[in-house]
Amino acid sequence: MTEIRIVVVGAGVSGLTTALLLSENADYKITVAAKHMPGDYDIEYASPWAGANYLPVSVQGTDLAEWERNTWTVLEELARLHPEAGIHFQEAVLLNRSKDLESDNLSALAASTVTDPWYKDFVSNFKNMSKDRLPIGYENGNTFTSVCINTAIYLPWLTSRCLESGVTFKRATYGHVSEASNAHSSGIIADVIVNCTGLSAGKLGGVEDKNMIPARGQTVLVRNEGDGMMYATSGTDDGDEEVCYSMTRAAGGGTLLGGCYQKGNWDPQPDPNLAVRIMKRAVDLCPTLTSGKGIENFSIIRHGVGLRPVRVGGTRIEKERINGDWVVHNYGHGGYGYQSSYGCSQAVVKLVEEVLRARPTL
Ligand code: FAD
C-alpha cells in the first residue's frame, strides 16, 4: 500500500489518542496540528483541566457505553503496567440522593452513582454500600476501583508515544477545517483530516456545529491528600449547577477538588465564592483532607476553569466530505473525554479505513 497522509486537528486527549491509534498502521503518516499543545493552560483547551477519572455516564446499549467500556480495558492496563503514563488506581466512593437524579442539568454526572449501574460487571471490586456507612444526607453509595489520570503527565506521555511512532506535530490555527489539508509534514495534500477540535467545532469553518455548548467546570488543585479515596456526589444543596468531587492525581499531582457543571457559561475566570464552596464541600465529605482543620488548612496549587465540550445529541464520530476533503469528526465529549477516549478513537480508525477503501485506486 502507498503512504497515506493524515492530519489530525487538535492535541487534546481526543486528538492525541486518535493519532496514537492511527500510528499503529505503518502506512499512515500522521501530522497533529493544533492551536494548543500539552503544557498549555487555556480556556479553549479542555483536556489539561480535567480530573481526570473514570466514572461512566452512559446509558447501557448506546454507542457511548461501548466507547466507555472499550476505554476501560486500556486505562486499566495502563494503570497496572505503565506507571510512566501517570495513571493510578483509586477507590471511588459515589454517593447519591434521589432528588439529584431528577435534575436535568446534573443527571449526566449523577448517572455514575445510581444503585445498579451497568458498568458494575467489568470494573473491579464493585460494592453497594450498606446504609450505616453512608454519610448523612445520602441515600445510596457505591464503591469500586477506578483510575485517576494525572493530565499533566498523561498528555505529554501521549505526545511522546506519538513521536516515538513517527507522528509529527505543528502549531496551527485554522479558520476553516479544509485549511488543514495543507498541514501535512510531507508538504503534500492530506488524504484524510481528523477533526478533534472540541468545543471549537462550534466555530470552525466548514463544521460550525450549533449543537456545541460549554459546561463550565471550576476546580481547586491542592497539595493536601485525604484518606486515599476518590469521591463524587450526585449533587449538592448549593444549587442545581454545583457538584462535589475530589481525586488525588498520581505521582504527586495534588488533589483536584470540584466543581460545577454550568451549561452555557463561558467565563474563564475562577469565581472566588464558588472556590470557597468547593473547598468547604470537599472537607465536609472528607475531613482528613485538612486533618479536620477546615478549609484554611488547604495549600492551594492553582484555581482552574475548564469548559467541557458538550454536544447536544452526543459525541460526533462521523465521516463527511467538506470542500472535496474527507473529514472524520471526533468531538463533543462533554465531561467524559478521557473515559471514552480509546473507544472513540478506535471508532475513528474504522471510519478512516472506510474512507480509504472507498477511494478510487490510483
Ligand atoms: P480539547 O482538549 O479542548 O482540545 C481541542 C484541541 O483542538 C486543542 O489542541 C485546540 O488547540 C485544538 N483546536 C481547536 N480549534 C482549533 C483550530 N481552529 N485550529 C487549530 N487547532 C484547534 N473527562 C473524563 O473522562 N473524566 C473526568 O474526570 C473529566 N473531568 C473533567 C473536569 C473538568 C473541570 C473539565 C473541564 C472536563 C473534564 N472532563 C473529564 C472532560 C474532558 O476534559 C474533555 O471531554 C476532553 O478534554 C475533551 O478533549 P478534546 O481533545 O476533545 O478537546
Q: What 3 state SS string does 74-99 have?
A: HHHHHHHHCHHHCEEEEEEEEEECHH
How large is the average pLDDT for residues 2-6? 95
Check: complex ipTM more than 0.90? yes
CATH number 3.40.50.2000 given to 4-48+153-211+313-358: no
Distance 129 CA to ligand 1 centre (A): 33
Long-range contacts of the stretch 273-276 (C-beta < 8 A, 24+): 274/218, 274/242, 275/218, 275/220, 275/303
pLDDT single digits (tens) 11-24: 999 999 999 999 99
Q: Is 34 in the pocket of ligand 1 (CB under 6 A)?
A: yes
Ligand 1 centroid distance, CA of 136 (Å): 35
Place of cell 466507547: 67
Confidence of residue 100 (pLDDT cuts 50, 70, 90): confident
Cα 184 to Cα 176: distance, rounded to the nearest angstrom: 16
Name the β-bridge partners of 218.
305
Closest C-alpha among 48, 88, 37 to residue 225: 88
pLDDT above 70: residue 107: no
Kind plus residue range of the DSSP H or E element containing 327: strand 325-331
> Does CATH number 3.40.50.720 belong to domain 90-147+213-311?
no
53 CB under 6 A from ligand 1? yes
Separation between Cα atoms, residue 344 and residue 333, nearest integer Å: 9
- Judge whether 4-48+153-211+313-358 and 90-147+213-311 match in fold: no
- pTM of the shown model: 0.97
- Nearest ligand 1 atom to the CA of 259 is 34
Residue-level length of the chain: 362
Domain extents for the chain? 4-48+153-211+313-358, 90-147+213-311
Taking the centre of ligand 1 as the mean of its atom positions, its distance from the CA of residue 2, in whole angstroms, is: 33
Which DSSP category does 205 fall into? B
Q: Given the CA of residue 16, which atom of ligand 1 is nearest to it?
A: 51
Q: Whose CA is nearest to atom 12 of ligand 1?
A: 10
Q: How far is the CA of 98 from the centre of ligand 1 (A)?
A: 30
Distance 197 CA to ligand 1 centre (A): 8
Distances in Å between the Cα of 308 and the Cα atoms of 35, 198, 215, 280 are 17, 9, 5, 23
Taking the centre of ligand 1 as the mean of its atom positions, its distance from the CA of residue 47, in whole angstroms, is: 4
Give the tens place of pLDDT for each residue, 185-240: 999 999 999 999 999 999 999 999 999 999 999 999 999 999 999 999 988 999 98
Closest CA to 51 of 87, 98, 18, 95: 87
Single-letter amino acid code for the residue at 41 = Y
In short, whether 38's Cβ falls inside 6 Å of ligand 1 is no
- The answer to whether 255 and 224 are in contact (CB under 8 A) is yes
Q: How many CB atoms lie within 10 A of CB 297?
A: 14
Nearest CA to ligand 1 atom 39: 335
The answer to whether 31 and 185 have CB atoms below 8 angstroms apart is: yes
Q: What is the DSSP letter of 116?
A: S
Cβ–ligand 1 distance for 154 under 6 Å, the answer: no
Beta strands 87-96; 230-233: pairing state: parallel
Quote the CA–CA distance of 66 and 343 in Å, as a whole number.
Answer: 7
Of 25, 352, 342, 317, which Cα lies nearest the Cα of 190? 352
Cα 12 to middle of ligand 1, angstroms: 5
